[in-house]
Structure 1
Amino acid sequence: MSTSVRRSVRRRTIGAGLAAVALAAGAVSCSKGGEESPKMTPAAAVAKAAKNTEDITSFRYRMKGKVPEQGRVEAEASMRIKPSVAMSMKMTVPDQGTKGTMEIRLVDKAMYIGGNADLAKEMDGKTWIKFDMSALGDKNLGATTPGAGQADQNPATESTFLTGAKNVKKVGTETVDGVKTTHYSGTVTVADLKASFKDEAKAVREAREKSLQQYEKLGVDKLAMDMWVDGENHTKQFRMQGAADKGPLDMTVTFLDYNKPVSVTAPPAKDTADLAEMMKGLQDG
């Protein structure tokens, strides 16, 4: 494989795949329908749903929207948070044609990107690329592949960002995927979010600060958020919109279930090309 082809593969797979994973998602779960207590204010209802994210161990979700530089993104995924992080996602980037369809797996601190016929042609028949996240560490990962350093954290933290808004309001009641929900909205700045983290427990604060970093790297200063909360005070759906340095961010995540078993396996070694070895080969060359 030529050096130019390898560099092209590296840019496309990492840029499209891992950036989408980082943005993939952020809220919590779905549950039975209903409405919040009539005595609960919008801010209190949002805060209660955010608190419930701390009990999430796994979930399935769909996402659809626009990601800076990549354009439209559609995906469905399963993710386990505890006892160890694992994820399986099938993603399509429609604006990239056949090259924009792929599968992403995160297991044992390694990211695998595959399921693309065009990629296999360029990889001497290999259908997966392995990216060893543990070898680089969060700091280097973040510098090499935007958002990859956040892939091993609980993505439910991003749905809690609406708690930092000063203008949370109830929009009304709506049915989402057959579940009756209460729709809330608000606008929150990065500065307000950071200020709101100070009142949280250390572990919660650190998780939220880490999640916020990816938006700061994108150049997002303010987020318009919508949140749909079900009758058991879990987030059924959320939407984030913001202006980034390289284009608009507009992502909606809908949650299908939570706290059910999620099992993810690594692709067969014979079908996998190790990106670290490819990069080393380029450096040696």
Structure 2
Amino acid sequence: MTHLASGIRAGAIGAVGLLACGVLTACGSDGDSDGKGGKTSAASGTAGGTAAVRTAYARTAEEETARMTLRTETSAAGKTAAADGEGVIDLEDGDSTMTISAGGQKVEQRVVDQVLYQKLPARQRAQVPGDKPWIKIDLKKAAAEQNSGSSNQINDPAQSASLAKGITDRNTEKVGTATVDGVKTTRYRVTVDVDKLSGTATLKRQVGPTVPMDVWLDGQGRIRRQQVTMNIKPTDQPDRTATPRKMTVRTLIEFSDFGTEVDTDAPPAGQTTDMTGKIGDRQS
């Protein structure tokens, strides 16, 4: 589960980073609140649901690589910004190559050794020191800043994989079945107990005692789709920050084409600007 957790985190954080760069101010509203839909039956309890969801991360990671799509919706102050991503990911170490689309813009994204690289549109490069084509964010350092209670709030829906640690027998139910990208799946709905997660104190202040998550598993117990919704209340936020004090972040991730080739390289150092810890400053 650990490997897949880092893979999902690395793959999805890019959409959040793009939103943090200001796309929220030019957003529209999306009416599909259930991701890509799919017919489901009435909810019913399942004795083996908890074990199925917990083992799904390991079973998915065993495939080593996959094609991944994601959709991140961030809603605040009556506006909703959507970011869509499509590409390939190494489920073992999180390296990935994706194209992120948001606010009418497309951004090439790579994750290499837990460092996020994004190639900005030409009109945005002038806003970055050095006017270089690529920015980079060290995900490990960014996570450390969040966990230490910095002004960079936990608005990372890619936390979804690690949420499995908070799943217990009493809060897992089988919702029904659905077809995801042509594959028959079983859908489970879980309520994650935040007290069982790392960084509990800060996370609980921001999202409350529980977080809802839905997981769609195929016949081999692998994750085909996962959706997590976080209602976030930022804490200890400086007044200079323009980020809304309350927001809802919903992320939908889908995996397909397991075993696909993944070949990701970091861009040349001379073409990158390190923006680790500086995204929040750009919003002031």
Correspondence for 2:182? 178
- Which residue identity does 1:42 align to in structure 2? G
Correspondence for 1:59? 66
Q: Provide the rounded CA distance (Å) in 1 between the counterparts of 2:213 and 2:156.
A: 24
Q: Is residue 187 from structure 1 mapped to residue 191 from structure 2 by the alignment?
A: yes
Q: Provide the rounded CA distance (Å) in 2 between the counterparts of 1:144 and 1:63.
A: 26
Q: Is residue 237 from structure 1 mapped to residue 225 from structure 2 by the alignment?
A: yes
Percent of matched pairs sharing the same residue: 25
Q: Is residue 126 from structure 1 mapped to residue 132 from structure 2 by the alignment?
A: yes
The two structures, once aligned, show a CA RMSD in angstroms of: 4.1
Q: Provide the rounded CA distance (Å) in 2 between the counterparts of 1:132 and 1:162.
A: 27
1:103-157, CA deviations, whole angstroms, 9 ceiling, x for partnerless residues?
A: 32222443222231222244565211233557x5852475475569999xxx783
Q: Provide the rounded CA distance (Å) in 2 between the counterparts of 1:224 and 1:240.
A: 6
Give matches, 1:191-230, under 5 Å.
191=195, 194=196, 209=198, 216=204, 218-230=206-218
What is the CA-CA distance between 1:233 and the residue it aligns to?
0.9
Q: Provide the rounded CA distance (Å) in 2 between the counterparts of 1:110 and 1:228.
A: 29
1:84-109, CA deviations, whole angstroms, 9 ceiling, x for partnerless residues?
A: 44222322233xx54xx423222244
- Give the TM-score taking structure 1 as reference length: 0.61
Long gaps (5+) in structure 2: 1-16, 23-45, 234-245, 280-284
Correspondence for 1:253? 253
Greater gyration radius: 1
Q: Provide the rounded CA distance (Å) in 2 between the counterparts of 1:185 and 1:242.
A: 15
Correspondence for 2:27? none
Q: Provide the rounded CA distance (Å) in 1 between the counterparts of 2:191 and 2:168.
A: 9
What is the CA-CA distance between 1:80 and the residue it aligns to?
1.9
Aligned partner of residue 209 in structure 1, secondary structure? coil
1:193-237, CA deviations, whole angstroms, 9 ceiling, x for partnerless residues?
A: x0xxxxxxxxxxxxx737x89955743432222111111111111
How many pairs were matched up?
224
Confirm or deny: 8 A CA contact 2:107 2:121 kept in the other structure: yes
Aligned partner of residue 46 in structure 1, secondary structure? helix
Q: Provide the rounded CA distance (Å) in 2 between the counterparts of 1:133 and 1:227.
A: 25
Higher-helix-fraction structure: 1
Q: 1:180 to 1:216 in 2, by over 3 A?
A: same
- Give the TM-score taking structure 2 as reference length: 0.61
Q: Is residue 90 from structure 1 mapped to residue 99 from structure 2 by the alignment?
A: yes
Confirm or deny: 8 A CA contact 2:157 2:249 kept in the other structure: no
Q: 1:52 to 1:252 in 2, by over 3 A?
A: same
Q: Is residue 110 from structure 1 mapped to residue 119 from structure 2 by the alignment?
A: no
Q: Is residue 74 from structure 1 mapped to residue 58 from structure 2 by the alignment?
A: no
Correspondence for 1:9? none
